Amino acid sequence: MAEQAVSPMMQQYFEIKKQHPNEILFYRVGDFYEMFYDDALTASRELELTLTGKNCGKEERAPMCGVPFHSYETYVARLIAKGYKVAICEQMEDPALAKGLVKRDIIRVVTPGTVIESSMLAEDKNNYLCSIYCKRRRGHWRAGICFADISTGEARATELNAEKIGGAIITELCRYMPSEILICPPMLDFKDVTGYIKQHTSALVELREEACYKDALLESTMAGQFGPEWRTTLGYDEDALVPYAVAALLNYLQETQKHGLERIKTVDNYADAQYMRLSPVTRANLELTETMRGREKRGTLLWVLDKTETSMGKRLLRSWIEQPLVDAEAINARLSAVQALYTANIARADLKEALSHVFDIERLTTRILYGSATPREVKALGDTCARLPEVKTQASACGAPLLTQLADQIDPLDDLLQKITTALVDDPPATLKDGGAIRAGYNSEVDELRDIMHGGKGYLANLETKLREETGIPKLKIGFNKVFGYYIEVSRSYTDSVPDSFTRKQTLTTGERYITPELKELENKILGANERLLVLEHQLFADLLSEISAQIVRIQRTALAVAQLDVLAGFAEVALQNNYVLPVVDQSGVIEIKEGRHPVIEQMLKGTLFVPNDTLLDEGENRMLLITGPNMAGKSTYMRQNALIALMAQIGCFVPAASAHIGVVDAIFTRVGASDDLAAGQSTFMVEMTEVAEILRHASKNSLVILDEIGRGTSTFDGMSIARAVVEYICDNIGCKTLFATHYHELTSMDQDIYGVKNYNIAVKKRGEDITFLRRIVAGPADDSYGIEVAKLAGLPSSVTKRAHAVLRQLEASAPGRNQTMQLDFETVEAYNNPSVPSEVVDKLHSVDIETLTPLEALNFLYELKNVLDKD
């Protein structure tokens, strides 16, 4: 079969696709976005679309599929979620008016980090695009890193200058969790960073070429965005690396978004030392914003604290939880504001009521700037403006300095409210497609066109009456057909009375048909009114969007103040509902909590009494609490709740306790639970030791460290030795406040050897072979391990637990005077290499594979060793 000539439309498609080979091209054809060839194959597979074909001048038909243009966002969102980019190719002129081929062009490339559509974004979470630039200077690596959410206009950046630059970059990525990351070529050598991104995030990584970081491009980009004095304006010196990251991000946005960069007005430069350091492991273990298993909000600290009313407040709350403060003055400013709202019940209720009617003006403003906002969304901005005076008044009424400051930052935006109210109808349509958004009286031409459209027959009736009077023809009538349009019909008996201004168009057996200039003008008005009205409404609406966009700085400042008020009011509300107290926060280095509770578990167990516990940690005698007790007794809950209480205090929130004194901690480190990292080929023990190594390397005197069951992943001797060495290192070299849970009862003797170590245990009530966990932490070491009792609670068959008790009694009887827990102490460990130990015992110990022994085999093996020793 001979090949046909490629159609002009497909030639146009090939030219545009050539410019965007790595994106799925949504090619507008009439009321659909069409996809061809590989794009069609991919889209049909990922979106479950029916695949068809099209003759494109090639021997084989081109695979083809499409989606309706009015609902394309849903399909784009699904592709973006799967890691694809989508290039939107739009018709740039009205096909009805186009001469020849309709002009088309790419209006935008949608990527995970550049989404602005509300239907494609989570309302309670920022969507960050990240840019990283690193360079080796004077013998060590430095990095500039920028995070921007173009849906809100927020841009934040910091310079990293750490010994372990990879770890510092990961910490920042973990803080913001971007959906897309731009990296420079040297970043490919940072295997720890790229490995973290690949294994622990779903972010799309975009490698930018070296040319994107040239000095000339940097200067032109930054000057174009922030003005010629950009270094002074933003506070960057000549040596700073952050500008390279910012410029690369701006250039990428220019490539993909084509316009709208003016949304980013400034860059907020922060130092990583401004915020508490929280490693990825710590964030996961404390379940701050998502649970470890289900990755849900329910069951997290965010879930407990979220009493916000606005989408902006929800995003800011998440940000505060991810970035606790370390400046006591800033923390106490927040706490004072919460205290004022807590006591002012009426003002707080009125404030929350006003906030409940505030829309997401951050993201609305971005859509307005991009020209993609709907009339209903613009009306929502107006409705929000109407509520701002009440928000401002109630915030001022509470009196706290921070609340007064935030109230002052709220601009009532009266002028915008006036513009929107004057321009738009009370209930505007969801889209501007069919018009009907512009209010009557706003534009005289719109009013006239509507009158013509809705009153066209009235105009004709009036003209008919007028012509009858002027001509004296009583039966003159105005009619319409598709051939001539509107016409004047006069019966044959009155043709002599027709004035010269009438032009004859058609002769009938019963009379004549005429037209007049006035009638043709009216016809043009009636027939073209709808089309002209739609064009005019679009233009007036676009003008309104431009006027609003010009006030973007005022709107952004107001939105941020409103969001902060929302979070602070939410903190006051949650404190009232959950019986939280105002903590004392200072730089004392003391953590003293009376009757502390776990904020999440007590909400998950509503209706069940949560047993509170006290905690005292300081920089002296109580630097490390060594906690013993059986599994399931509540050690992990206790340790986590103290970390969460410290974190809550440092975000400016009241805490679940009878009283709390929190000396600011600069970081929280946790090593909790056991988990294999099979993807990286690491065993439980390897993961555990890696995490412990990170803690020992990065913790400072002002950090809070939580360690649970260190050394459990290896043999008893090795594990016990490592655990003791870690305790000694923390106490001797770091001096940080530490909660250390262990099953190695032998470690409890360290309170005699090491200054700052105190023993605590979880109280247990025992009746025969049954136990009850009292959930109360008390001073002193645990007196037993209760392993068999815990196994019974866990559901082991009674026959097994009875047999275990029998074996245990037999072992205890054959080892008089020994510790009932049958655990080896450090003297026994030292005897392991003592020549006085019989060689047969040593040989047996060397030959056994401890990792493969079942509990029963281990007991039998221990019994064999005892028999050998007894024979000797």
Residue ranges for the known binding site are 629-636
CB burial of residue 246 (10 Å; 0-12, 13-18, 19+): buried
Please, are residues 314 and 355 in contact by the beta-carbon 8 Å criterion? no
Query: Which residue from 56, 65, 61 is spatially nearest to 13, judged by alpha carbons?
Result: 56
C-alpha 870/C-alpha 866 separation (Å) is 6
Query: Which residue from 738, 713, 714 is spatially nearest to 726, judged by alpha carbons?
Result: 738
Question: How far is C-alpha 181 from the geometric centre of its chain's CA atoms?
Answer: 14
Query: Which residue from 137, 131, 91, 97 is spatially nearest to 111, judged by alpha carbons?
Result: 131
Query: Which residue from 421, 430, 459, 437 is spatially nearest to 536, judged by alpha carbons?
Result: 437
Encoded tokens for 596: 């502390």
119, 125, 129, 131: CA torsion to nearest 10: 180
Query: Which residue from 333, 337, 315, 317 is spatially nearest to 125, judged by alpha carbons?
Result: 315
3-state secondary structure 388-450: HHHHHHHHHHCCCHHHHHHHHHCCCCHHHHHHHHHHECCCCCCCCCCCCCECCCCCHHHHHHH
Angle between helices 345-355 and 328-343 (to 10 degrees): 100
Going by C-beta distance under 8 Å and a sequence separation of 6 or more, which residues neighbour residue 361?
312, 381, 384, 555, 558, 559, 562
C-alpha 351/C-alpha 74 separation (Å) is 35
3-state secondary structure 477-510: EEEEECCCEEEEEEEHHHHHHCCCCCEEEEECCC
Distances (CA, A) of 368 to 42, 118, 120, 380, 544: 32, 12, 16, 12, 9
**What residues form the annotated binding site for ATP?**
629-636
Query: Which residue from 647, 648, 691 is spatially nearest to 672, judged by alpha carbons?
Result: 691
Please, are residues 466 and 499 in contact by the beta-carbon 8 Å criterion? no
Residue 464 phi/psi, 5° resolution? Answer: -60, -45
Please, are residues 264 and 150 in contact by the beta-carbon 8 Å criterion? yes
Encoded tokens for 175: 């803080």
Distances (CA, A) of 856 to 67, 670, 716, 770, 800: 64, 33, 16, 21, 10
Please, are residues 445 and 536 in contact by the beta-carbon 8 Å criterion? yes
Give residue for tokens 């973290």: 196
**Burial 281-305, CB ≥16 within 10 A → b, else e:** bbbbbbbbbbeeeeeeeebbbbbbb
What three-state secondary structure class fits 33?
strand
424, 429, 432, 437: CA torsion to nearest 10: -20
Continuous segment of H or E residues that includes residue 767: strand 757-767
Residue 827 phi/psi, 5° resolution? Answer: -65, -40
C-alpha 295/C-alpha 353 separation (Å) is 31
Query: Which residue from 387, 398, 317, 395 is spatially nearest to 355, judged by alpha carbons?
Result: 387
Going by C-beta distance under 8 Å and a sequence separation of 6 or more, which residues neighbour residue 309?
352, 355, 356, 358, 566, 569, 570
Query: Which residue from 204, 177, 103, 190 is spatially nearest to 143, judged by alpha carbons?
Result: 190
Continuous segment of H or E residues that includes residue 762: strand 757-767
Encoded tokens for 684: 């439980």
Going by C-beta distance under 8 Å and a sequence separation of 6 or more, which residues neighbour residue 527?
485
